[in-house]
Structure 1
Amino acid sequence: MARLFGTDGVRGPAGTVLTAELALRLGRCAVEALPGGDGDAPRTGRSGGPVQVLVVRDTRASGPMLEAALAAGAAAAGADVHLAGVLPTPAAALLVDRLGFDLAAVVSASHNPWADNGIKLFGPDGRKLPDAGEARVAELVASDAPLPARGTVGRVAPLLGATEDHLRALDERFGDLDLAGRRIALDCANGATFRVAPEAFRRRGAEVVVLADAPDGRNINAGAGSTHPDAVSRAVLEHGCDLGFAFDGDGDRVLAVDGTGRAWDGDELLALMALHLRATGRLAGGVAVTVMSNYGFHGAMRDAGIPVVATPVGDRHVMAALDERGWNLGGEQSGHLIETGFVPSGDGVAAALLTCEALGSDALADRAAMRRLPQVLVNVPVADRDGAMADADLAAAVAAADAALEGEGRVLVRASGTEQLVRVMAEAPTEDRARAVVDALVAAVPGRR
């Protein structure tokens, strides 16, 4: 069996790769992988009774099918399953801890097209299962050995009021934020934020212009959301908004647009947040970002005296770095922005509200916290990505290019985690210089196809 868990859970085309049968087995094995239980007795949860499982999904057409299969598998292992329906992914990370669940599962493929779907698992602390936990679930899923007959089955029931629980948590965190007099555009990507995001901003007094808030199962992320910021940019200009935000399909990412229509990526928003939290005495230590973070972010934090640590790509790596250091802020250029004082997960709605808090009465266009360097990225198809990355001549070329840009920019050459590609990226003071560096490095990649 191919590797089950990727960088963000199990994901693939619904009905072919991610089937109902796989979802059922995942639900059962996720419960069986939990500690506790003896012999044929079901696992016990932290309350001392049956394991309690929370299930959240986005708006994809395949969501109800996979939700039902996942719930059936967990119930077959003796767990009680609570179906919260359509909610952003970070709501699962928040509620699994607040409401005392033992496990949360999110049925979503994030920013992927509607035909894909996925399953992410969260532990009782609201964090995604660590690698060891995912490996144990994957081992059980792949095993030919029969799973134990538990002798009892759990219950499956709707969890009423989960949307209000999420909104109440946002109210608690941002209760002092007053957005009266501000007109804000929100692109909900026809996804999981379509109810929560507009209501959260209206409760702060904002006049809200909402787009892509009519999910039909097949229009999630279609020409909308954080992967298509032009849509919210047009809405900001058309309706004279002060700013706008675009979420992805499951609501754990956000990008912003200022009043002039310019898009702000996760690095720029994170820099703004870091300076704000430091100024208000709420920044614990420094900021964790990934290796894809723009060089301009590092320069801005260096000038501000804020430590930065770079991790491999993926919000789980960012979260691990924050936990290791006791820091509370991190994120990715793509818009996964984590402020652990609220939830240990990227939360698009919370990040958008924190951006507004950082701005106060200022316009986003006037509050640039960093200068984003031009970035050029080329994906190079190769016959053997690992062999290419081990090539001594390529390593020497990378080192020379990096040394030439020292203090002005940087280069990053890495293998794709999922495809036979080598990703070549350079950042420099001008786009022409960045492109020249990338072109030279692409020519040095062995085994190009």
Structure 2
Amino acid sequence: MAERKYFGTDGVRGKVGTFPITPDFALKLGWAAGKVLATQGSKKVLIGKDTRISGYMLESALEAGLTAAGLSAVFVGPMPTPAVAYLTRTFRAEAGVVISASHNPYDDNGIKFFSAQGTKLPDEVEEAIEAMLDQPMDCVASAELGKASRINDASGRYIEFCKGTFPTELSLDGYKIVLDCANGATYHIAPSVMRELGAEVIEIGTEPDGLNINEKCGATDIKALQAKVLETKADVGLAYDGDGDRIMMVDHLGNKVDGDQILYIIAREALRSGNLKGGVVGTLMSNMSLEIALKQLGVPFLRANVGDRYVLEKMQENNWKFGGENSGHIIISDKNTTGDGIIASLAVLTAMVQHKLSLNELVTAVPLFPQVLINVRFAGGENPLESDKVKSVASDVEKRLAGKGRILLRKSGTEPLIRVMVECQDGELAQQCAEEIANAVKNN
């Protein structure tokens, strides 16, 4: 694979107003993508965004670039990332574009693409777009210019799609749910989905102003959600991130239920209904308790590198349907082609309703092990993880943990840091072991 100049693992991302998140680059990116994609069929590209103020500027610039290359831009407005993946497929578009920086603050933004199938663009297409970005920009003849239009019922279509994943014979009638939409892309979708399925809904984080996305709310900060669940005596709290591809949950006692626990509940339910077909993919950071709990069910478990892209790759390699990260990015591939916070939360709510159990009761099988993470800075040069002394200490610790815990040592890809992670049922032992390894790295 060629070295990327602009595309990271999740499209192009950065600080607004700083290259590459500038209107002139978005214009050129729209044009370059249009040139590459115009060789295919329908000549229309869907554009969705989250609620950040910079979305207006970037969607206008992308529209100009696409139409100059001869493709039509179809706007769906503020829409969760998984909704754009779904709508791209259902409208038979050439590609989908999402303008979002996910769980980041409002002054960041990003541009990522979906293929016509609602999956990440193939590497060769991204590479062709990068190559086109280095060419001088031109414009097709006036008669061949693209047009711009808007899908007015896009949110309604996605609401119905989400509801369709919840069993028709069940209802959320009698459930009180607190929803935190992070002042992001799910603000006008998730409350309707839950209400139309019968729930009583209490909303927070549903008043976006362009600047308050992910601010002290949403999947990355659930304190307000925990407080509201306890205050209103709700059955459950659901928190999405800015672009709606992540979910964190809170039980009726105010306890956090993270992506590992959510993945376990969904996988166990699939196993019970005969819908699992294979195993579950987590990441290097997935809690060991998830691995042990799945093993007790006889469910195979594999770890991918951190990042939803790698989780999906491993799922596809094994032809498995379920994967996710502890951050709440859950992929159920027979329902959508990417992580989908609303659909993952509906899968958990299905289990609650079906078995008449609280969320707290559903997670008892997977109590998270304490994780201790220590970052150790080292002078440039040799990687301390290659040293015999560090290897020896790490080996001793592994023997001591013997199946009751695990260690993960990795070198940061961006700065001279060694990340030491120890996870164990016994928090004190985890702390002690992490410090021993960190000291060996420091004194190497």
TM-score, with structure 1 as normaliser: 0.92
- Could you report, residue by residue, the CA deviation over 1:4-28 in whole angstroms, capped at 9, with x for unpaired residues? 2223221111111311112112222
Answering whether residue 185 of structure 2 is matched by residue 192 of structure 1, we say yes
Query: In the alignment, what sits opposite 2:26?
Result: 23
Question: Quick one: distance in 1 between partners of 2:121 and 2:45?
Answer: 14
Residues 165 and 346 in structure 2, CA contact (< 8 A), matched pair in contact too: no
Question: Quick one: distance in 2 between partners of 1:392 and 1:104?
Answer: 50
The Cα shift of 1:84 comes to: 0.6
Partner of residue 169 from structure 1, selected from 148, 151, 161: 161
Larger deviation: 84-93 or 370-379? 370-379
Partner of residue 438 from structure 2, selected from 422, 436, 442: 442
Question: Quick one: distance in 1 between partners of 2:268 and 2:229?
Answer: 26
Answering whether residue 131 of structure 2 is matched by residue 135 of structure 1, we say no
In structure 2, the CA distance between the partners of 1:383 and 1:85, relative to structure 1 (3 Å rule), is: farther
Q: Which amino acid aligns with 1:257?
A: V
In structure 2, the CA distance between the partners of 1:79 and 1:402, relative to structure 1 (3 Å rule), is: farther
Give SS of 1:173's match. Answer: coil
Give SS of 2:165's match. Answer: helix
Q: Which amino acid aligns with 1:212?
A: G
Answering whether residue 314 of structure 2 is matched by residue 321 of structure 1, we say yes
Answering whether residue 275 of structure 2 is matched by residue 282 of structure 1, we say yes
In structure 2, the CA distance between the partners of 1:409 and 1:67, relative to structure 1 (3 Å rule), is: same
Q: Which amino acid aligns with 1:375?
A: Q
In structure 2, the CA distance between the partners of 1:415 and 1:24, relative to structure 1 (3 Å rule), is: farther
The Cα shift of 1:350 comes to: 0.7
Q: CA RMSD in A?
A: 2.0
Residues 75 and 153 in structure 1, CA contact (< 8 A), matched pair in contact too: yes
Question: Quick one: distance in 2 between partners of 1:64 and 1:416?
Answer: 35
Answering whether residue 161 of structure 2 is matched by residue 146 of structure 1, we say no
The Cα shift of 1:381 comes to: 3.5
Structural mapping, 1:30-429, within 5 Å: 30-34=33-37, 43-47=38-42, 51-141=43-133, 143=134, 145-147=135-137, 149-151=139-141, 152-176=144-168, 177-360=170-353, 361-368=356-363, 369-384=365-380, 387-429=383-425
For structure 1, list consecutive stretches of 5 or more residues without a partner in the other structure: 35-42
In structure 2, the CA distance between the partners of 1:173 and 1:411, relative to structure 1 (3 Å rule), is: same
Larger deviation: 85-94 or 391-400? 391-400
Question: Quick one: distance in 1 between partners of 2:329 and 2:105?
Answer: 18
Question: Quick one: distance in 2 between partners of 1:73 and 1:393?
Answer: 56
The Cα shift of 1:390 comes to: 4.6
The Cα shift of 1:384 comes to: 4.2
In structure 2, the CA distance between the partners of 1:70 and 1:447, relative to structure 1 (3 Å rule), is: farther
Residues 274 and 287 in structure 1, CA contact (< 8 A), matched pair in contact too: yes
Larger deviation: 52-61 or 388-397? 388-397
Give SS of 1:249's match. Answer: coil
Larger deviation: 280-289 or 185-194? 280-289
Question: Quick one: distance in 2 between partners of 1:365 and 1:305?
Answer: 23
The Cα shift of 1:130 comes to: 3.7
The Cα shift of 1:423 comes to: 2.0
Q: Which amino acid aligns with 2:432?
A: A
Residues 174 and 353 in structure 1, CA contact (< 8 A), matched pair in contact too: yes
In structure 2, the CA distance between the partners of 1:161 and 1:44, relative to structure 1 (3 Å rule), is: farther
Larger deviation: 145-154 or 78-87? 145-154
- Could you report, residue by residue, the CA deviation over 1:93-134 in whole angstroms, capped at 9, with x for unpaired residues? 111112111111100000101110011111111111244433
Question: Quick one: distance in 2 between partners of 1:363 and 1:175?
Answer: 18
The Cα shift of 1:155 comes to: 1.2
Question: Quick one: distance in 2 between partners of 1:438 and 1:8?
Answer: 32
Give the share of equivalent positions with the same residue, in percent. Answer: 40
Question: Quick one: distance in 2 between partners of 1:128 and 1:381?
Answer: 35
In structure 2, the CA distance between the partners of 1:405 and 1:212, relative to structure 1 (3 Å rule), is: same
For structure 2, list consecutive stretches of 5 or more residues without a partner in the other structure: none
TM-score, with structure 2 as normaliser: 0.93
- Could you report, residue by residue, the CA deviation over 1:393-433 in whole angstroms, capped at 9, with x for unpaired residues? 44444344333323111011123344443322110121111
Q: Which amino acid aligns with 2:347?
A: L
Residues 266 and 334 in structure 1, CA contact (< 8 A), matched pair in contact too: yes
Question: Quick one: distance in 2 between partners of 1:132 and 1:395?
Answer: 40
In structure 2, the CA distance between the partners of 1:74 and 1:9, relative to structure 1 (3 Å rule), is: same
How many residues end up aligned between the 2 structures?
435
